[in-house]
Amino acid sequence: MEETKLFVQNLNIFTWRDIESFFIRSQYNEMLNFVIGEYEKQYKPPATDKPPKPNFLNINRCLTLERCVGIIQIDANKPANAKASAKEESADVKQTGSKAKFTTATTICEWDDPTIFNMPVFIYERELTLSKTSKKFPLPNGDTLDFTFDTNSLTVGAVIWLYFYERMGIFKILGALLDDYNYRGKYTISGRRLNDYSRLMDMISTLHRIGISSNLRDRVCLYQRVLGVSIENKLGIESERNSGFMNTFNRLIDYMLEYYKTKQLAQAIQTQAGTVQPRSSVATQTSIRDTINVMQQHFEPLQYGRNLINTFVGIATVHATLCLVNMLKSEIGIPAQYEKPEEFIPAAYDILVAKRTHTVNAANRFIIYDNCASYGYRLLTDIETIILDNLTAIATGSNLDTWLNDIEGLVEGYRNAYSAVPEKVEAIV
């Protein structure tokens, strides 16, 4: 009986606290904690009259935001068991000085530096679809495959998540709101602090004015250098492209779809023949494994230059925009009863970007791109962190076979969402 870990657990490439400039950290920490507070008002558990949390706030769907809770003081002079006990007992939010430790279910937020204040948590926890009660899956030979993986750091999946939210039009919506708030004045967007949205609006405006906002040049270079794709722009940017990334990713998706199709056919045939355990194509498994090996070589550019910082700042800006639009939707002509992002984001895009009256279409802009982002994030994070040496390719009951069964819904979901994308890349800028 052996237990095999499928993913590299301690993948701490770059976390939010690694953005060490106090200038950036102080501004964004203030804004993100305000956003988290508003999210808690906007989205509540399904038992209430508020809508449930959307994908972008689901820790099993993407690297999302959470509040640091369970802040406790740990005395360095106490024995280790006393420290562990203190961690378990605390549940209140209290600041206890520069050595305070902040705990959530999966992370500890530490204040070694008094300039790090009100720090939010970026968090992702992988969900095992083959089992709802455990993250460890028993194999036919009696061994166990451990699917446990959670992180507070960036993976390339976070870049593709940001990229699809860019294609959704989030940054164009924000640009239109900022332009109107600061200059044009078409909409009655109040600047009085009696309106909570004006606080967030001015925070975002300040980030732009002092030059630490997520800007188009940074994101264009990020997409080109990490994903090898671009968006139309007039900036004349020349940067290295991670050529082959998307082609390799799409080829891997094709191999996986071929694997599922072949296996479904084999299951149908073997069920009629009375065979209990269907056989998988070893050749297709080998092609998938070899392509994953090539994919993992494409992930390194994320760690170069300011790609990591630009990714975090971009994700933070997406959250700020999603929160802001929900807060001031009435001021720009969106019905107040539009409480779900799949309702108010397409409406905001039509009104602010496309300059047309909003109509409900069969293809929902938010749902399509959000699905691309969510499925893409989970697939790429799996591919980046999976331990290739632990992926065996045999006809029945292999580790690779089990993992492919677990992600079948992700692969199908990504391909279906991507095929429904209404615009080419050049159409978004």
HEC readout, the chain = CCEEECECCCCCCCEHHHCCCHHHHHHHHHHHHHHHHHHHHHCCCCCCCCCCCCHHHCCCCCCEEECCCCEECCCCCCCHHHHHHHHHHCCCCCCCCCCCEEECCCCEEECCCCCCCCCCEEEEECCCCCCCCCCEEECCCCCEEECCCEECECCHHHHHHHHHHHHHCHHHHHHHHHHHHHHHCCCCCCCCCCCHHHHHHHHHHHHHHCCCCCCHHHHHHHHHHHHCCCCCCCCCCCCCCCCCHHHHHHHHHHHHHHHHHHHHHHHHHHHHHCCCCCCCCHHHHHHHHHHHHHHHHCCHHHHCCCHHHHHHHHHHHHHHHHHHHHHHHHHHCCCCCCCCHHHHHHHHHHHHHCCCCCCCCCCCHHHHHHHHHHHHHHHHHHHHHECHHHCCCCCCCCHHHHHHHHCHHHHHHHHHHHHCCCCCHHHHC
What's residue 225's pLDDT? Answer: 94
User: Angle at the Cα of 33 (from 32 to 35), degrees rounded to 5?
Assistant: 60
pLDDT of residue 113: 56
The whole-number pLDDT of residue 422 equals 80
Domain ranges of the chain: 3-10+136-147+155-248+294-428
Q: What's the pLDDT at 275? A: 54
Q: What does the pLDDT read at residue 110?
A: 52
**pLDDT tens, position by position, 364-400:** 999 999 999 999 999 999 999 999 999 887 766 789 9
Given a cut of 70, the residues of the chain with pLDDT beneath it are 10-12, 46, 69-117, 268-280, 362, 395-396, 424-429
Strand ordering across the sheet containing 121-125: 64-66, 121-125, 150-151
Distance of alpha carbon 35 from alpha carbon 10, whole angstroms: 28
